[in-house]
Amino acid sequence: MDSPFERSLNLIEPLTFETLLLEVHCNLPKITKGAMLIQFKQDMENRIEEAWHVFGANFDALEKEAKKRRED
């Protein structure tokens, strides 16, 4: 958390319609509303799980930065 670049990184990776359409194209043998909904839910769950890992890996640094800002 020492640089503006580090602080500006996404905690959760963005999901665009273009990305979702690509994943639907690549992952679904048959495209249905139900299958697309499942794909979307899986994408969201994967991003949330990854965000928890990123958050956990940076938890100490986040706490340190938050306390530092409180002191300023």
Give pLDDT tens digits for 13-62. 999 999 999 999 999 999 999 999 999 999 999 999 999 999 999 999 99
Q: Which ranges in 1-72 belong to alpha helices (H)?
A: 4-8, 17-27, 33-57, 59-71
Residues 35 and 61: their CA atoms lie apart, in Å, by: 40
Q: What is the residue extent of each domain of the chain? A: 4-71
DSSP 28: -
pLDDT score, position 12: 93
- By the 8 A CB rule, do 54 and 11 touch? yes
30: left (phi over 0), alpha (psi -120 to 50) or beta: beta
